[in-house]
Amino acid sequence: MTRPLLMIPGPIEFSEDVLAAMAQPTASHVDPAFIAIFGQALTDLRAVFLADDSYQPLILAGSGTLAMDTAAANLVEGGDRVLVVDTGYFSQRMAAICRRYGGIVDLLSAPPGDTISADQVAAQLPQAAYALVAVTHVDTSTGVLTDVAGISAAAKAAGALVIVDGVCAAAGEEMRQQAWGADVYFTASQKAIGVPPGLALLLASPAALGKWRARRTPVASYYSDWAEWLPIMAAYEGRRPAYFATPAVNLIVALGVSLRRILAEGMDDVFARHRLLGDAVKAGIAALGLGQVPTQPTHAAHTLTCPRYPAGVDASLLAHVRAAGAILAGGLHPAIRNDYFRIGHMGAVTANDVLATLAALERGLRRAGYPVEPGLALAAAQGVMVGGA
């Protein structure tokens, strides 16, 4: 029997060329061939995030939480007012990290499944002299998509810098970092970027670098300090050896392959593919009579779907779905953890993966005692994919 599809919101299914790159013998981190790969990956990261050469990329060994920590460690100083747009678990993590570095944090919170609008942010900004506004592009715990463009515009008008958590969005949801005014956009390798876990990826604007250079106090995190990393990134992009901490060599080689694959597809086509497959999954879920955590389709993510369990079905459904061929994730948001589950569909995911997952979900629901007409979700998803082709 073939292994089940890994259809959670990260780690995801990775392409064969990325896995082959991971399996190569490990090179020295100062080998000329590796330096060239690392340097190109830094350049390509700008292109994926849609920003020019004035934006500084950083590729660090670590998780998405490290990327979040790095953004806050370098930009938050004691006494800085920070407005965190709270749409779920990871928004609240961002708030906790900002507080750790001395930020005075105000949460603008939505109930689970709801979003915060740009107008709400604009109304809050005059209430304090906010230095920073932090936004989660897609909160992995709720599947809520936030209006980054609108919120960034409101923050900029108020003189605040913008940090965007793009962990469950980058290279999946539409994001135009420079045009939209996001000062730091960060993600992790294991989601739509399409590389196994272990890399923290960030892109910082000239304004973000300016705030960092104007700090009154040293960065409290030794590992995250941009003062240590910026010379390293400049050296690699200039095709010169450098050392601060050993990079994750094999992961960076794989990242180079994945970024090239993403850019060959073209960012507009990448965004459109994720929209189409996300809409197809949601159509299949609706055909099964299942609700979803996001309260409106307009703020539902395209990189994952968060269906609610139907009456009489609980988390034991996930074991039935796994036995039928797909691994899904349970709920994460503490307030509704037992009410829903999560399906990831990002990165190298294909239409066939989506259909196989929905078929496994249908079989799992039947085994859990929920009556499902065979093929109902598949037909709905195929209708979307054919119509959007």
Tell me what pLDDT residue 171 has. Answer: 98
Q: Indicate the class that CATH gives domain 16-265.
A: alpha beta
Q: Is the pLDDT of residue 1 over 50?
A: no
Q: Taking the CB of residue 159, how many other CB atoms lie within 10 A of it?
A: 10
Buried b (16+ CB within 10 A) or exposed e, 67-77: bbbbbbbbbbb
Burial of 267 (0-12, 13-18, 19+ CB in 10 A): middle
Residue-range domain boundaries for the chain: 16-265, 267-388
Q: Taking the CB of residue 304, how many other CB atoms lie within 10 A of it?
A: 29
Kindly state the average pLDDT of the residues 13-22: 97
Architecture in CATH for domain 267-388: Alpha-Beta Complex (3.90)
Tell me what pLDDT residue 389 has. Answer: 60
Q: Is 2 left (phi over 0), alpha (psi -120 to 50) or beta?
A: beta
Q: Is the pLDDT of residue 85 over 70?
A: yes
Report yes or no: 353 and 265 within 8 Å, Cβ to Cβ.
Answer: no
The closest alpha carbon to 385, from 284, 246, 299, 303, belongs to 284
Q: What is the pTM for the complete model shown?
A: 0.97
Q: Is the pLDDT of residue 329 over 70?
A: yes
